Amino acid sequence: SKLRVGLLFGGRSGEHEVSIISARAIANALSAEANSQKYEIVPFYIQKNGVWQGGETAQQVLKSSEATENPAITPNLWQFPAETAEIDLWFPILHGPNGEDGTIQGLLTLMQVPFVGSGVLGSAAGMDKIAMKTAFAQAGLSQVKYKAITRAQIWSNPCIFPKLCDEIEATLGYPCFVKPANLGSSVGIAKVRSRQELEAALDNAATYDRRIIVEAGVVAREVECAVLGNDNPKASVIGEITFDSDFYDYETKYTEGKADLLIPAPLPETVVQQIQEMALQAFAAVDGAGLARVDFFYVEATGEILINEINTLPGFTSTSMYPQLWANTGISFTELVDQLIQLAIERHTNSK
Ligand code: ATP
Ligand code: MG
Ligand code: MG
Ligand code: MG
C-alpha cells in the first residue's frame, strides 16, 4: 500500500505565500509517475492564524491559493483535522518562524512518525542567526563581524541605546545590516549607512523579533550551495545570484525578473570545492538533516569565502535555487522529493 505523506504548508509566517507555491511544486512531484505508485498526498493547510485545515480546503489552497479562512477560532493545535492520525510521514514545507524553526519539528517528533528535514535542534539553530553564527564560529567557519542584541537593549533602557549605537559604529562601521534574528526572505532586514538609519532600523527590527543581529556589510558575490543527506550528506554544484538592487531584499527575491540565478556559478574549481566543504561543515555544525541551502559571500578580490547563513527549509518552488542546484547536479525535482522522503525514514529509524 502507498505511504500517506502529510504535506504541511502555509503557516504562521511572513513566508506563507511562498510556502504554498513550494507545496504545490512538491505535490506535483509526488504525483509524477515515478512517485505516484509509492506515495499518497494528504495536504494540510496551516492558516495565517495557525489553524490547521485538511480535506477539501487544503486541496483547494494547493490548487489555487484561494482559501476560505476559518476566522473565529483561537488556534487550538490539539484539535487537528482527523486525517492527521493516518499520516505515515510528514513533509513540512513551511518557511520561517513556526515552521522552519523547530516548533513544528517538535510537534512532529511527538507524533512519532518520520518527517522530512532537520529535527528540533537543527531547525532552531539554523533559524536563529545568533545561535547559527555561534555554531559556525565554533566550527571554524569564516564569517562577517557581527553583534548580537536584544529588543530590551533597544527599547527598554534609554541610557543603553546611544552607547549601543556608538559601539556598533566603532566595531562594525557603515554600511552594516540590521536583521531580526529569526526570519527569512529578507523580511525586516535593512542596510544602513548612518546613525539615523541605524537607529530606525534597530527600532524596526525589534518589532519583528526579541533577538536582533547587526552585521558588518561586505561587498561580495552571493553564492549558494545545496546539501542533501543525513549523517553523510552531499553538496551540490554552486549557484550564484545576480541583481541590480542594493541588496537581495524581499522585492528582489520575489519580483519576476529582478534577480537571475546562474547555475553553475562561474568560479575556479578550488573555490567551488572550498564552498562545498564549508556547506557540509555548516550543515553538521547546526545538526542539519535531510536538506539545507547554505548561503555564502565570495569576495573575488581577496578570494575570501564567508558563510552568511543556512536555511533548513529553503524555497522549494520549481524555480527555486535548492531544487535547481540539484537538477544541475543530476537529481531531478521528482527524484529529489523521493530521496528526501527516504532520508526522513532513515533518520527516524536511526533515532530510535
Ligand atoms: P533567506 O531568504 O535566504 O532566508 P534571510 O532573510 O535569512 O534570507 P540573509 O540571507 O541573512 O536573510 O540576508 C539577505 C540578503 O541581505 C543577502 O542575500 C544579501 O544580499 C544581504 N546581506 C545580508 N547580510 C549581509 C552582509 N553582512 N553584507 C552584505 N550583504 C548582506
Ligand atoms: Mg535565511
Ligand atoms: Mg530562509
Ligand atoms: Mg539568505
The model's pLDDT over 231-241, given as tens digits with 9 standing for 90+, comes to: 999 999 999 99
Q: Closest residue (by CA) to atom 12 of ligand 1? A: 186
pLDDT digits (tens, 9 = 90+) for 3-42: 999 999 999 888 899 999 999 999 999 999 999 999 999 9
Residue 212 has pLDDT above 80, yes or no: yes
What is the CA(164)–ligand 4 centre distance, in A? 26
Ligand 1 proximity of 248 Cβ (cutoff 6 Å): yes
C-alpha distance across the termini of the chain, in Å: 24
Nine cell digits for residue 240: 550564484
What is the CA(147)–ligand 4 centre distance, in A? 18
User: Residue 156's pLDDT is what?
Assistant: 79
User: Residue 75's pLDDT is what?
Assistant: 60
Could you tell me whether strands 3-10 and 89-92 are parallel, antiparallel, or unpaired per DSSP bridges? parallel
pLDDT digits (tens, 9 = 90+) for 99-109: 999 999 999 99
The stretch 212-238 carries a mean pLDDT of: 98
What is the CA(182)–ligand 3 centre distance, in A? 9
**Mean pLDDT value across the chain:** 95
Give me Rg for the CA atoms of the chain.
20
- Ligand 1: atom nearest CA of 184 is 6
| Among 19-23, 125-129, 155-159, the least confident range | 155-159
Instruction: Among 123, 186, 192, 212, name the best residue to mutate to test ligand 1's pocket (greatest count of ligand atoms within 8 A of Cβ).
Output: 186
The stretch 101-123 carries a mean pLDDT of: 97
Interacting residues of 29 by C-beta distance below 8 A, sequence separation 6+: 35, 333, 334, 336, 337
The stretch 198-208 carries a mean pLDDT of: 97
Where does the pLDDT of residue 352 fall: very low under 50, low under 70, confident under 90, or very high at 90 and above? confident
Residue 336 has pLDDT above 90, yes or no: yes
Residue 324 has pLDDT above 90, yes or no: yes
Q: Residue type for 118, please?
A: S
- Ligand 1: atom nearest CA of 146 is 27
CA angle 70, 71, 73 (to 5 degrees): 90
Could you tell me whether strands 89-92 and 52-53 are parallel, antiparallel, or unpaired per DSSP bridges? unpaired
What share of the chain has pLDDT > 70, as a percent? Answer: 96
User: Of 81 and 181, which is predicted with more confidence?
Assistant: 181
What share of the chain has pLDDT > 90, as a percent? Answer: 89
User: Residue 72's pLDDT is what?
Assistant: 52
102 neighbors 121 (Cβ within 8 angstroms): yes
pLDDT digits (tens, 9 = 90+) for 44-83: 999 988 889 999 999 999 998 776 666 656 666 567 888 9
Alpha helices in 68-119 (DSSP H): 103-111
Q: Please tell me the pTM assigned to this model.
A: 0.96
Q: Closest residue (by CA) to atom 14 of ligand 1? A: 186
Ligand 1 proximity of 215 Cβ (cutoff 6 Å): yes
Is this complex's ipTM strictly greater than 0.90? Answer: yes
SS3 for 268-327 is CHHHHHHHHHHHHHHHHHCCCCEEEEEEEEEECCCCEEEEEEEECCCCCCCCCHHHHHHH
